[in-house]
Structure 1
């Protein structure tokens, strides 16, 4: 079928929005930090609730199933509404959509208190579902808003920047969450009471951000085209393949992150205790943050290539310094070497989003093979390095998938967010492989399949053609 042309999403005063998007962009980035922080706390909850309820690994992974299952169900409901009644977010506005998401997420966090009081694993899973439902609404509203809010040619750069703040949340969450849930108030307590106050604090923070968003002046993004019911977004081949790619990426990333604490505890890998393993889990998520800052610079519309190298070098120097003072020269040099590898692959991608995505995915495939078959420090640092190469994947896949969709952008966003259900499906699969084979290392071959598909999408599937599905 021949492709059709649609009017791009614009504002009544596009020039004004283009020139003044920086303030609203700063405000919206807080959302990315918060949902990154909350999502990564699941990696702390898994070993905690596994201990409290004496669960098998696949049962503990149901935490991710409940959380990311909400992404699928809520996004599916959103998509059904969009094809029967018209796009809900485009009707109520991105700002109101963001506020609704924050309020629902706050309710989910508050439900952790009665879940811990009743000591019910099912209640915990229900609370996670509500929490993730709110974050799903945030994802549907905020991701396309960031992509639209500013010049189209720098959309990938903006998405990487906001996702870098998301990764900052995932970086500090294992450290703070590990301290509060495992080691702070009652380190010897095997119950669930230690999760109460952290999640009540998150509920309060989400409510405060909702109030801030309410009073903030965010530009309204509108379109001159009539918003009609229908599944128009699904006619685009690069979007359909991008939906599968988001499924593969989130599934692979979450499966790896969810397994790392148990992986670092293995005697043949590092033999670490939970709290110490949480620090190295932060390296994994921290790598994604650093890589996204690199990606934001590399994929920006900065004309001077030497300027890009200078900024990236400055970021690397800051990271090296922080690592040196926090962990010592040995860890700092290892991280610097991994950053150098990341920069080399970034150069190989020639700062082209699709090409860079393909080479990053190919690198992760190699790192997963090393993780699966090596031992000791080599295996440990190989899996940690994956975080650096995960960095640009989600924002780059997202922007490639919605490119050229015009009025179908919000509907496409709901479909892409629906695909985040990969985080609910792939981790239990990896857990099941680990239980069946008796080898946690070999189970990393499950996310490897996901990254093989991402490599395909980067090199081929993301290309926009005249043919639609």
Structure 2
């Protein structure tokens, strides 16, 4: 039986048909990888909900509880620039997926004793390991969705997949509101329900790792990406890696944007409790679920718009609206302020995946290495939330009579980081060196029309009738013999 045959996790570097997969050829592997997006959306949503839960159960400050975000997102650069990126470049996407799922499962298992003994520090360690696993998955999955299929649709593919990430972030706060916050004994608060949640996660991800091991998926090599860059005449991989300034600008924008997004979601429950008198944490968690629903909806809407409008213009409109609508949340209170955060989350929806897709344009043989830098920008989620919570703590307690709301005032922190990320949006749309590369990939017909006469499979190597690719060095420019 095929399921019991020997499976190799080492991928070669010859050019394959994966560089020219059609929409039909790419559907199955994309659906499988999309499951991963739901997983880390669910995990991310749990972190936002547990942030407030730990404040109440363990009686810790807002700034200390932000250690969850610091541990979770601080692990990302270690994965995306370190172990995960090394596995991706030397073994391929499939091996990186399995590695990330195993780390995710181990972290979830370690969370069990930490929760039993009510150790916040121990749970942060477990979350750090989980973050390494999810960072590994993002290091592989985001660029895989970008390159698996016709290049002109990459922004649409990654945004649709990321919409399932949004669905995960919707379900997690609902689970938290009914499981974590309800039926809590004030005299002896328990974390038992959280324990069972993480045990279930561990079992599921280990099963999913096995599914990835036995399932064949197309491997997109550096040679494939170099071919795409050459065919579109937009490749910048003739320059040394350290001169890929567009990549590093994208990574910086990712750092600023992700930090702002995570800070807003992590402080959402505190914001609602501070600004709506009489609102419990459980009710605020349900409001967070609604806000994450707006976030998921925004990804579907953004993906739809990208069918008719250039993705970079949709990117500009959504990023600008994030800045416009986060601003009133600083001064407004009650339902008005909360509604501004709802609208902000709607427009945040496409920013992260679109930065990934646009930032990887033209990298060619540097695509796998470059994706690690863009995903490392997620580390902003470890930096900005502690700044926001420290700013909120410095403002004292909320006073409904005077309208003093510490968390609302602290929303000026993500606003500043949104403005910094906006510079990349402007560059992609108005700086020719950025815009031309993006547009050439958007108009290419690779994967849309047949580029070869033969009908070989999309995941196999190029046929014997074609010249092989000379790739003695993984970082060398592929040349046809």
TM-score range, shorter chain: 0.7 to 0.9
Which of 215, 233, 258 matches 2:266? 258
Does residue 288 of the first structure (1) align with residue 295 of the second (2)? yes
Question: How far did residue 225 of structure 1 move?
Answer: 7.8
Mapped to 2, the partners of 1:238 and 1:22 lie a distance apart of 30
Q: 1:185 to 1:272 in 2, by over 3 A?
A: closer
- Alpha-carbon contact 2:223-2:365 (below 8 Å) kept: no
Mapped to 2, the partners of 1:256 and 1:456 lie a distance apart of 20
Mapped to 1, the partners of 2:225 and 2:337 lie a distance apart of 54
Structure ID, larger Rg: 2
Mapped to 2, the partners of 1:15 and 1:357 lie a distance apart of 26
Question: How far did residue 78 of structure 1 move?
Answer: 4.1
Q: TM-score scaled by structure 1?
A: 0.81
Q: TM-score scaled by structure 2?
A: 0.79
Question: How far did residue 73 of structure 1 move?
Answer: 2.4
Does residue 72 of the first structure (1) align with residue 30 of the second (2)? no
Does residue 201 of the first structure (1) align with residue 200 of the second (2)? yes
Question: How far did residue 179 of structure 1 move?
Answer: 1.9
Question: How far did residue 118 of structure 1 move?
Answer: 2.1
The DSSP-based 3-state class of the residue aligned with 1:183 is coil
Which of 356, 360, 364 matches 1:402? 360
1:246-325 matched pairs, under 5 angstroms: 246-266=254-274, 268-269=275-276, 271-300=278-307
Structure 1 unaligned spans of 5+ = 1-7, 306-350
Question: How far did residue 387 of structure 1 move?
Answer: 1.1
The DSSP-based 3-state class of the residue aligned with 2:262 is helix
The DSSP-based 3-state class of the residue aligned with 1:272 is coil
Question: How far did residue 236 of structure 1 move?
Answer: 1.4
Question: How far did residue 410 of structure 1 move?
Answer: 1.0
Partner of 2:61: 56
Does residue 444 of the first structure (1) align with residue 452 of the second (2)? no
Mapped to 2, the partners of 1:28 and 1:159 lie a distance apart of 11
Question: How far did residue 459 of structure 1 move?
Answer: 1.6
Partner of 1:373: 331
Question: How far did residue 188 of structure 1 move?
Answer: 7.4
Mapped to 2, the partners of 1:16 and 1:441 lie a distance apart of 48
Does residue 154 of the first structure (1) align with residue 153 of the second (2)? yes
Mapped to 1, the partners of 2:433 and 2:225 lie a distance apart of 25
Question: How far did residue 184 of structure 1 move?
Answer: 5.8
Which of 249, 258, 275 matches 1:241? 249
1:69-218 matched pairs, under 5 angstroms: 69-78=74-83, 87-183=86-182, 189-218=188-217
Partner of 1:11: 16
Partner of 2:433: 465
Q: Deviations over 1:71-100 (max 9, x none)?
A: 122333249xx6xxxx53132110111011
Count of residue pairs brought into register by the alignment = 403
Structure 2 unaligned spans of 5+ = 1-12, 227-238, 397-405, 438-481
Mapped to 2, the partners of 1:264 and 1:75 lie a distance apart of 34
Partner of 2:48: 43
Q: 1:52 to 1:98 in 2, by over 3 A?
A: same
The DSSP-based 3-state class of the residue aligned with 2:433 is coil
Mapped to 1, the partners of 2:183 and 2:27 lie a distance apart of 38
Q: Which moved more, 1:356-365 or 1:400-409?
A: 356-365
- Alpha-carbon contact 2:182-2:282 (below 8 Å) kept: yes
Question: How far did residue 263 of structure 1 move?
Answer: 1.1
Q: Deviations over 1:147-192 (max 9, x none)?
A: 0100000000001001001101011110013322222687875132
- Alpha-carbon contact 2:22-2:150 (below 8 Å) kept: no
RMSD (CA atoms): 2.6
- Alpha-carbon contact 1:261-1:277 (below 8 Å) kept: yes
